[in-house]
Amino acid sequence: MTSLVIDGVYLFAGTIGDGVQRSADNGATWTAKLTGFLGFDAICKSGDKVFASASNYTYVTTDHGENWSNVQPLEGASIFSYYCQGSTIFAGGRNKIYRSTDNGNSFTPIDLNFDFSIVNIYSMTSIGSSLFAATSYDGVYQSTDNGTTWFSANTGMGPKDVRAITATGASTLIAGSHYVGIYRR
């Protein structure tokens, strides 16, 4: 399992090898709802939509997984993570973050000026008005302008392969790195 999201009474799980699975009984049983791909890296819920990304394709459903359609603005982009905040959706890809301000109807790519040439955005979160992105090889980055520009936020940890971040409370960021440890900021 690579990702989980709740959509009303349904629980969706992105998996490696078994597509997107849906449960209507708190995870006791599961039904395949989107298959045919090696693995789903990210799932996100925004409004009445659930987004799921696999390889270079992103799909959306508005009927709890019964029907899925391709999200054209993200076709060809490898999406590793999502962060949904109201009707704004951030999709973390390879060397780019894609932003939608209309609940996923359109996405605008944001070019990133990170230190490494190939950076995957594995996780995103926010604290107050700041967004944070966990990156491969380049640690944590922060944006204070809704994702338009980004700067390094690696104080105390240096460049690391950060796979997960989350906010706790009003000002604490927890970053989990690949093989190195967990950092608190």
CB 10 within 8 A of CB 20: no
**Longest Cα pair distance anywhere in the chain, in angstroms?**
46
Who has greater pLDDT, 7 or 39?
7
Query: Which residues share a beta bridge with 113?
Result: none
> Whole-angstrom Cα distance, residue 142 to residue 152?
6
Confidence check: pLDDT of 159 > 70: no
Who has greater pLDDT, 170 or 21?
21
Confidence check: pLDDT of 66 > 90: yes
User: Model confidence at 97, in pLDDT bands (50, 70, 90)?
Assistant: very high
CA count, 13 A, side-chain hemisphere, 125: 19
Confidence check: pLDDT of 158 > 70: no
Burial class (CB in 10 A: 0-12, 13-18, 19+), 147: buried
User: Considering the chain, what is the average pLDDT of its residues?
Assistant: 87
CB 132 within 8 A of CB 153: yes
Rama region for 74: left / alpha / beta (φ>0; ψ in -120 to 50; rest): alpha
Highest mean pLDDT of the ranges 22-31, 106-115, 170-179: 22-31
- Average pLDDT, stretch 61-80? 88
Residue % of the chain over a pLDDT of 70: 96
- Average pLDDT, stretch 48-70? 90
User: Model confidence at 101, in pLDDT bands (50, 70, 90)?
Assistant: very high
The full 3-state SS of the chain, as one line of letters, equals CCEEEEECCEEEEECECCCEEEECCCCCCCEEEECCCCEEEEEEEECCEEEEEECCEEEEECCCCCCCEECHHHCCCCEEEEEEECCEEEEEEECEEEEECCCCCCCEEEECCCCCCCCEEEEEEEECCEEEEEECCCEEEEECCCCCCCEECCCCCCCCCEEEEEEECCCEEEEEECCCCEEEC
> Whole-angstrom Cα distance, residue 1 to residue 181?
21
> Whole-angstrom Cα distance, residue 67 to residue 48?
13
Confidence check: pLDDT of 67 > 90: yes
